[in-house]
Structures are given as structure tokens and as C-alpha cells.
Amino acid sequence: MSTSDRQALTTTSYAILGLLTLRPWTTYELAQQMDRSLRNFWPRAQSRIYEEPKRLATLGYASASSERVGRRPRTVYRITAKGRRALKTWLRAPGAGPIVEFESLLKLFYAEHATIDDVHVQLDAIRAWADRRAEENIAFARLYRESGGPFPDRLGPIVLAGKFMTDFTDMVHAWVAWAEDAVRDWDDTGHRPHAAQVLEDVAARQPPTTTRETASNEHT
């Protein structure tokens, strides 16, 4: 039981297995590709990308062939039939929803202990992040529009993920603009017009009508 647990693939395993369906890769190429395509919704360190395919190979989901560059060894990985089957099975089960980690926002969450300058440092950093990402998104879109990209027949799934990323970038950008306005009314009066407005707006919304047993939240 604990032995079979140890053999269970992680999401990262499947992430790499998925890349291996496209073509064989050297570990370095995998790391590069991971960085290009999955970084934004499944970020992992380079060393992880070097380790995972080994495991895939020992478990039979991939095959490893050793090559040689001068005196240096290198490994090329290919997916096996077993690997393809495993991937297909994994694709059928619903995956986890989005998880966000956001250190700058955490700092803003404790802004009462910071100076107003500190707050602007965070907001500026976030804006810079959004700008950088926006640039990447545009460069990416132009590349694909002009050349079709390295895997033109994958356009559908690629843009599915790509639009998620641009939507997220846009959202962060808009949020930071709002936040800059909002912190402008942070004075000693305790009045927080922007915050109050948000509360009103969100509180006035109709909860989505989920179909689980006539959601009885109307005790109003």
C-alpha cells in the first residue's frame, strides 16, 4: 500500500507526460518548454523537471535513451503506450481549481502596519508584474498569429490556456488601478468610500443558482 502510493504520479508527472506526447525531448528541452508554456499555470523549478522524467521512466511511463555530447551524457525521453494510457485516464478526472499565492497582496493585507510609501511599493511591484506579463502575452500572440507556433494543430488548447493568462493579467492590471484609488482614501477619518462601495456592490449580487437542494439562503 505505501509502496503503491509511492508509485502514484503527481500532477507534475502528468504535466511532463503531456509534453512527451508532443515529441521526444532531452531534459533540458523539457525544462525550456515547461518554462515557455506551463510556467504560468503549473510553475516548477528546473531541477524538478530534471528529476521527474527519471521516475516516469522507472515506472514504465516513458523510455529513456542515453546520448552523448562530447564526453557528456544526456538523456532523451519518449512516452510509452502505458504513458499515453495513464495520461488519458488522468484527463478524465476533474482537476483541482485554481490556487493563488500572492505575497504582495498579503503585505497589503497588513498595510495598517506599513507606511503609505510601503503600500505604494507593493502596488508598483504588482503593476510592474502585470506590465511584464502583458508584454509576454502580446509577444506570444504575435508569434502564434504570424508563424502558427511550434505546434499549430494545438491552437485550441493553447489559446484556452493563453486567454486565461491574458484575462488574469488584465484583471490584475485593472485591480491595481482600482487599488491605487482606494488607498487614496486611507486617512484617519475611517471613511473608506471605495471599500464601502465594493461591499455594497458585492452584497447586492444574486448568489449563483446552484442546483443542490434548492439553496435555502433566503431567510430574509
**Contacting positions for DNA (CB under 7 A):** 2, 5-6, 8, 10-12, 26-29, 31-32, 43-48, 50-51, 54, 69-75
d(CA 143, CA 37): 13
Calpha distance 220→18 (Å, rounded): 50
Under rule CB under 8 A, residue 60 binds a copy of itself: no
Q: Select from a copy of itself, DNA, none the partner in contact with residue 128, using the beta carbon and a kind-dependent cut-off of 5 to 8 Å.
A: a copy of itself
Is the CB of 60 or the CB of 152 nearer to a copy of itself? 152
Q: What is the Cα–Cα distance from 88 to 84, expressed in whole angstroms?
A: 6
Residue 155 vs residues 18, 29, 133, 147, 148: alpha-carbon distances, Å:
15, 21, 20, 12, 8
Q: How far is the CB of 84 from a copy of itself (least distance, A)?
A: 7
- Site for a copy of itself contains 92 (CB under 8 A): yes
Least distance (Å) between residue 28 CB and a copy of itself = 21
Which of 57, 176 has the CB closer to a copy of itself? 176
Give backbone dihedrals phi and psi of 31, rounded to 5 degrees, phi first: -60, -45
Backbone angles phi, psi at 68, to 5 degrees: -145, 130
Identify the CA nearest to 21 among candidates 163, 217, 185, 157. 157
Q: How far is the CB of 120 from DNA (least distance, A)?
A: 26
Candidates 135, 99, 136, 106; CA nearest to 122 is: 106
Nearer to a copy of itself, 74 or 161 (CB): 161
State which of residues 1, 8, 81, 160 lies at the interface with a copy of itself (CB under 8 A): 160
Q: Give, as ranges, the residues between 108 and 127 that touch a copy of itself (CB under 8 A).
A: 108-115, 118, 121-122, 124-126
Q: Which of residues 8-37 bind a copy of itself (CB under 8 A)?
A: 11, 14-15, 18, 21, 37
